[in-house]
Structures are given as structure tokens and as C-alpha cells.
Chain A
Amino acid sequence: MTDASLNSVPAAPRSRSLHTVDERTRKRNAAEKRFRVYGVTAILIGIVFLAVLAVSIVRSGMPAFSRMVVEIDFVLTQEQFDEAEAQLMKTSAYQAYFNAALQESLNAAGVSAPFDEAAVERILGKTGGILREFYRENPDRLGQPVSFELPASSRVDGYYKGRVTRDTIVDSRFLMKSDLDIVDAMHDAGILKRGFNWTFIQGTDSGVDNPGGAGIGASVIGSFFMMIVVLVLSLPIGVAASIYLEEFAPQNRFTDLIEVNISNLAAVPSIVFGILGLAVFIQFMHLPQSAPLVGGLVLTLMTLPTIIIATRASLKAVPPSIRDAALGVGASRMQAVFHHVLPLAMPGILTGTIIGLAQALGETAPLLLIGMVGYVAREYPDSLVAGFTEANSAMPAQIYTWAARADVGFYEKAWGGIIILLMFLLTMNIIAIILRRRYERRW
């Protein structure tokens, strides 16, 4: 477009019919139509990416929520119990009882398979120990049928999830090719079934060669305690700082400097906050390593700028006439802010806070630096204080640790962990939307 072409458009005649579209209108309409097409295309591309992401996460992550279990009805008499307890190798005595019961169940189902104690141990692990523990704790169940649900090893699990096939299997101390015959037989007999993997939800991190025992529960708790620290510190500090800066602080060089620095802080990469946390909180202040308390402190530093910027923006958006109105009837500045401005800014503040928290919940890098890596999440904290101070991991760090492990069994755990993390984030976003709706007022 040049000025010449604009000038060359002849001056419109005095009166023209509204039924004929003139050249300029036609061009404007065409431009608008083009813009709409660009917009719709952009949105479609976004939706496609989102769909691909969602489908791949669900496909890769869903297997983490199921596992193969052997369900077997088992009776142990008092005499058998006494006999086993009298022996030197007590658990292997229990194991023998179990194998006998397994053999019986297979026979009853009319399935026969070459049976081998070592193979059963490879498929189900050391069952004797589990049985002994159960009956020592529940002696009243002796002589009664008890239904045991024992998780199959992760190799067997992988066989049913397609990770291991008869062609790709390599004989090892974990699983032999011949074991698959027994596995198939148990499956045919209905003893080996697919069940919901509670261990993944409730469990803690496991050893590097035991993907089947890995669970995200402990790191969910770790994340929870961190978020409490972040919320308790960053919301009051952030809101108080914003209110002061926006409503009370004088406009001078110093406050300008603070303002610039807050914006800069929001752009600092998270790993820098991790290094800072390591140097200040752990090496200088000697706070416990890998503790959710320290993680929470580091994430607070990261979240503060987000909350301050969001809060200041929503305070700014409150029309000044509202402040004038309050001051005009003789309210103090404090009353004007707390009675009128803050309630109007509340939806924005809450949204900003929840977005900040969601960012903090998904943050990985700084946690790795202060030692909140996945493998420290070995047990649940046993008290409220321990929840803050004892070594734990957090969801994203746990996911990162699983994704980095060699055993392919951890692959689905990482994806499953992502599903859980996203569910938490989605919940937080929904809460943000609900709060915004509830507090929203029009003027």
C-alpha cells in the first residue's frame, strides 16, 4: 500500500446506493476475512498440538495405573504354622506351602504347566516372607481361607503391557523364557489378573531395579508441604508488598529501582534460584538438605515476583474514582484500600497466586540443586514437622528421576507421574476460575 494508491481512489460521489459495495469497503472486508482465517488457523494448530500431547501422555501414562496381580485363595492350618515356625529356614517353609497352593489352583483350573520353585520366585518374588508376616500379625486367620493378592514382577507386568515379548526376552535372573509358559498358564487359569496399581498412588520411590514397587505418594506429600510453605509465605508477603508499592509508596528513584528489579526477578531462570537456595539456605543457614522446607523457600523466592506483578496489575485496574469516592466520604487510605480496592482486586490477586503456585508445583530444576531428587522419597514423613524437615522429593523431581532410569519399567511411571501432576495443576486452575467467577464484580 502506498499513499499514491490511496490518493488514486476517486472521491466518492455525493450519494450512492447502500446496496452496492464500494471498493474500499470490499478491501476492508477482505482484510478482515483474511485475519479471521489466520486466527482460526492459529487456534486449530494449538488444538492439534494439545490433542497430540494429551493423547500421547494418556497412552504412555495409563499403564502405570494398572499392574498384574496373582490372586490366590490360601489356607494355613495351625499345625502348618507351628511346623514352619519350628524350622530353621522359616520363610522357605512358607514358600513351599504357597507353591503347593498355587499348583493346586492350577490343577483345579485344568491347566498344567511345568512347575519350578525358582520360576515362581522370579515371577512373584519371595512370597514366603509376605505370608509369614501376615500370619504372625493375624494369627486368628489361621485355618481360614484368605485371599492373597500378590503383584507380579515388573517383567511379567511388562509382558502383558507389551514391553517384553517372547522374541525379545533374554534369559536373566529376573525372568527366563520358560517362565512365560507358567505365566500364560496362570493367566489362563484366571489366577493372574490385571488390577489397579495402588502402589503407584500410595507408594514411595523404589530401587533402580524395582519399577513395580515405585509409587508417587511420598513425593505428592513432599510437593504438598512445599506448596504450604510457598502459599503461607508468598501470598501475604507478595500482597503486602504490592499494596504498599501501589497504594502508599512515594514515586521516587528508589521505588522505581525496586519496580524494575521485581520485573527482572520474574525473568530469572529457575535454576539460579536453586543455586541461591543451596548457597543461602543449606550451606549458610544450615537448613536440612533435600527438605520440603528449603524447597518451599526457594520456590517462594520464585513465586513472589509473579504474585507481586499480578497483584499490582489488578490493583492498578481498579478505577481511581473508587479511591476518590472512599477518600471523599472521609475514609483513610487504609480503609479505602481494604474496604474498596482490595475486594475489587481480589479475583486478579487470587488468579495470580494460583498461577504462581501452579508454576512452583511444576518446577524441577531448583529442586534438583537442593537435593530433592526422586530417590530420596523413600518413606512418608511420620509427623507434621518431619513433613517439612525430612528429606523428600516433589512430583516433578520424582518424574525426572524416573525418566532418567535405565529400566524401561520406569518409563510408564514417569508418564503416569505426569498425569497425576497435570491433574493437580488442572484442579488448581479450576479453583482459580471458580474463585474468579465468585469474586468478580462489574462496575
Chain B
Amino acid sequence: MDDMRLTERTVDTNESKITARKVQVYYGDTHALRDVDVDILDKAVTAFIGPSGCGKSTFLRCINRMNDTISVARVEGEIKLDGEDIYDAKVDPVQLRAKVGMVFQKPNPFPKSIYDNVSYGPKIHGMTRSKAELDEIVEKSLRRAALWDEVKDRLNEPGTGLSGGQQQRLCIARAVATEPEVLLMDEPCSALDPIATAQVEELIDELRSNFSVVIVTHSMQQAARVSQRTAFFHLGYLVEYGETGQIFTNPKDPRTESYITGRIG
């Protein structure tokens, strides 16, 4: 892999978009996430890596309060977005989720047409005033998700009729259509071929100029390619967090090193 690239990577800003302090998540009696402290930078890509079941998705779901929908889940600690506590009683999670978009681990298109899938978010947020504007957003989003050429002739066919990888890209298009400030992507390339993966990575890189992107991935190479910051989770702990180059070339924690070199996971 082109590991040399990561040394060239620089962060454009050092402003934190999201700051998490002492975050704990419990599912009933299981303590799934312990003492997570992390600062996610604005206009940068942060990768979460770690073995299966270590709590990557759980933490991601904390950031847009999707854990609210799980009745047994309980979140403690503090997560701030632009300095505002998102778990404050005054915060409406619906407003938060308009700012913090998400691509889920399993592709979950609505059983509606491809067009409706992408246009749903802009519609409910009143982002357009005419059909033409909406068409534009749909096309732009599908292009960004590298899906446009495959579906442009069948926008009215159901999104559920697409292949697994196409569905995943449809979900990406749906998430970027609402122009969120933060985009959380839970393994967005797990079902994609190398070409589509490269396209999605390009998209992530492009989004970085405006948004803050958090991506969960099981591919070390991908994390190294697209991210500026990497967080390594293990058994519910955030073991190590730092510049991607440093994590991959010079990890401080022995657990990080053994995971990266393939000895745990």
C-alpha cells in the first residue's frame, strides 16, 4: 500500500469540532464504553479502528444521539459539539441529527425510489424551494457517492432493488444530501469493490474541506489513506488517539502496535 502518502498528510486546522470527556456507555448492565476522551477536529477525517465489538459503533452513535433509540442504552459523560453539550436537556436530538449525518454499518435504504431516498432529507429540512433545486441536490449527492452513472436512468426504481454495494453508496448519498457539518460513517466501504472504495475515499477527502468526517473502518490501509487522526479502541477503552502517521508508524501503546501488525483483533 501507498503508506508514504500518510506522511504528507497535514491537518488544515487544529480547531476541535467535537470534544468528548469521560464518556461511558452502558447497555443494561454491560459497560460497553469506558472513559472515552477524544477531540475530533474540524475539517479533518478521523478514523476509528479496533477489533470487532470494541465499541466503535457505540461511540459513533453517541455523537448523534442515536443511542437514544435503544431503550437499554445509557450514556454518561460529556460530548460537546462546537462547545455545546449535546446531551443537554435543551438539545433536541432531531436538530442535532440534521447537523450530524450518519451512514450506518448495514445499508438501510428506505423501501422507496432511489430519488425519494436521496431527496427525503432535503425535503423534510426544507432545503429547496423547487423541484429543479431538489433534482440538482439528488444528482450532486449521487455523483458524490459515485452512484450517479449507475442509477441515473432508474431514479424511480426502488432503492432496495440495488446491489449491496450500491445500497451502501445510496445511503452515503442520502447522508451527504442534507449537507451535515459532521458526517459519521460506520464502515462505509465494507461491501464495496476497490473502484467504488477509491471513489468513496475521494468523496471523504473532498468532504474534509467543509466538514468533519468520522469513519469506522476495519481496513488499516483505508484508515491510513484517508484520515488525519486515528483512534484505536479496544474492549471499550480508547487506547490511543493521535495523528494517523504517528499511530501507524510509531504507536505508543503495545496493544495498538499488536493490533496494527495483526496480532490481536
Contacts and interface: CB of A to CB of B under 8 A. Distances in A.
A323 B174 CA distance: 14
Contacts of B69: 320, 323-324, 327
B120 interface: yes
Which residue, of A320, A327, A330, A332, has the highest number of chain B Cβ atoms within 10 A? A330
A330 B69 CA distance: 13
Contacts of B160: 442-443
A124 interface: no
A251 B71 contact: yes
A2 B110 CA distance: 50
B24 interface: no
B146 interface: no
A328 interface: yes
Contacts of B252: none
Interface in A334-375: 335, 339-340, 344
Contacts of B106: 321
B142 interface: no
Interface stretch (B38-46, B94-102, B200-208, B240-248): B94-102
Interface footprint category on A: 20 to 34
Interface footprint category on B: 20 to 34
B256 interface: no
B212 interface: no
Given A251-B71, A335-B124, A329 B111 contact: no
B121 A330 contact: yes
A324 B158 CA distance: 19
A322 B160 CA distance: 12
Contact of A328 (B71, B95, B101, B124): B101
A262 interface: no
Interface in B82-110: 93-95, 97-98, 101-102, 104, 106, 108-110
A322 B110 CA distance: 6
Interface string A288-329: 000000000000000000000000000000011111111111
A443 B108 CA distance: 9
B243 to A, nearest CB: 29
Interface in B121-137: 121, 124-125
B106 to A, nearest CB: 6
Nearest to A332: B94
Given A339-B120, A443-B160, A328 B66 contact: yes
B217 interface: no
A53 interface: no
A331 interface: yes
Contacts of B177: 329
Given A329-B178, A330-B124, A330-B178, A324 B94 contact: no
A319 B69 CA distance: 14
Contacts of B98: 329-330
A253 interface: no
A331 B171 contact: no
B228 to A, nearest CB: 25
A329 B94 contact: no
A328 B94 contact: no
A325 B178 contact: no
Given A324-B104, A325-B110, A330 B97 contact: yes
A26 interface: no
A19 interface: no
Nearest to A333: B94
21 contacts: A319-B108, A320-B69, A321-B104, A324-B66, A324-B69, A327-B69, A328-B66, A328-B97, A328-B104, A328-B175, A329-B121, A329-B174, A329-B178, A330-B97, A331-B94, A332-B94, A339-B124, A344-B111, A441-B111, A441-B158, A443-B111
Interface of B: 64, 66, 69, 71, 93-95, 97-98, 101-102, 104, 106, 108-111, 120-121, 124-125, 158, 160, 171, 174-175, 177-178
4 smallest A-B Cβ distances: which pairs? A330-B98, A321-B108, A329-B121, A443-B111
